[in-house]
Chains A and B, each alone.
Chain A
């Protein structure tokens, strides 16, 4: 086809009908929360009974802060990943908040605990439950976010999918944290990070494959 003919045919259809990526992602996020909560309710039932008391402890508060800061940082970054030419550098920096928070908390925890208590705190009692349920809770959010990414134009599809995986991980860990009774930063830094990593890698692979355009 001649380029001029192509231009003529494209020009006859100037108005876009597709949803802007920001709105598509907002919609996906809005659907992801109830979806994640539903899976949580089916798989694990309810938050831990002592949730109100736990909120007052520094360890639980740190755990929640780490998951919520991941959620927030990824939520801020993701729309920029779907817009060609958008600057992502300052928002990428916010992703460093959760690991920095955890690193500080882990340092304090190691300083506080006697040597022989470190490994038990790290292994906790729910490692496998965490490793299975966080990806389970995050799966539907990740799928919804990837669908929304396809509406946009991510010029780095794998990276965009990875950020979608981090957001799904933020949602899933924030919800899971209310159920999990292992509050040690050592546990959180190990198993929460691993389970978010599973979602992030899944997101990157899926993004590379399905977020292309």
Chain B
């Protein structure tokens, strides 16, 4: 499960990308998409005024257009979190919705204090403990990195139902792993 991203991997991928490695760049963008999706769906949505996938795409585009503003000697996660936050706030504003989005929401998802303490096995156990419907949704989105839309199509659900399932599934995993949602 790669909800949590580690700094060194992300930085290495982006460094390779800036040197012209298309595969590394694609992987970096997929991870970024997963990260933004997690924040947006699970912190701001579901049922928010903005389509989560639109926000994911706007953020990816911004990361792409501003990739020259990351300096290789600087940590990449604060950079990514700041761009994602800016795009989320900006797109809420353009849609006429006032949004107070805390940078901590982004850094929390990116930050990996639990990365070392939660083993793959624990995550697998937590996933296994979910109801089957939730499990397929959570694993499609967080493990396989699919979008809400794709997951809805492949599971024959509405996008709204996928969001609700994801939200509940993640909440269940969190409480099982003993973390509290702020």
Interface residues of A (CB under 8 A from B): 1-4, 6-8, 10-22, 82-86, 152-153, 155, 212-213
Contact A6 B74 (CB under 8 A): no
Return the contact of A14 from the options B22, B69, B86 (Cβ within 8 A).
B22
Give the most central of A3, A7, A22, A86: most B CB within 10 Å.
A3
Q: Decide yes or no: A11 and B71 within 8 Å by CB, A3-B147, A84-B66 being known contacts.
A: no
Q: Please, could you name 20 A-B residue pairs with CB atoms under 8 Å apart, sorted by A?
A: A2-B147, A6-B61, A7-B60, A14-B19, A14-B20, A14-B21, A16-B68, A19-B68, A21-B69, A22-B71, A83-B71, A84-B80, A85-B80, A152-B66, A152-B69, A153-B66, A153-B83, A153-B86, A155-B83, A213-B62
Chain A contact residues: helix, strand, loop or mixed: loop
Chain B contact residues: helix, strand, loop or mixed: helix
Contact B66 A14 (CB under 8 A): no
Q: Decide yes or no: A20 and B68 within 8 Å by CB, A84-B79, A84-B83, A155-B82 being known contacts.
A: yes
User: In the complex, what distance in Å separates the CA atom of A52 from the CA atom of B124?
Assistant: 77
Interface membership of B170, Cβ < 8 A? no
Chain A residue contacts of B78, Cβ below 8 A: 84-86
Closest Cβ of chain A: how far from B50's Cβ, in Å?
15
Closest Cβ of chain A: how far from B142's Cβ, in Å?
15
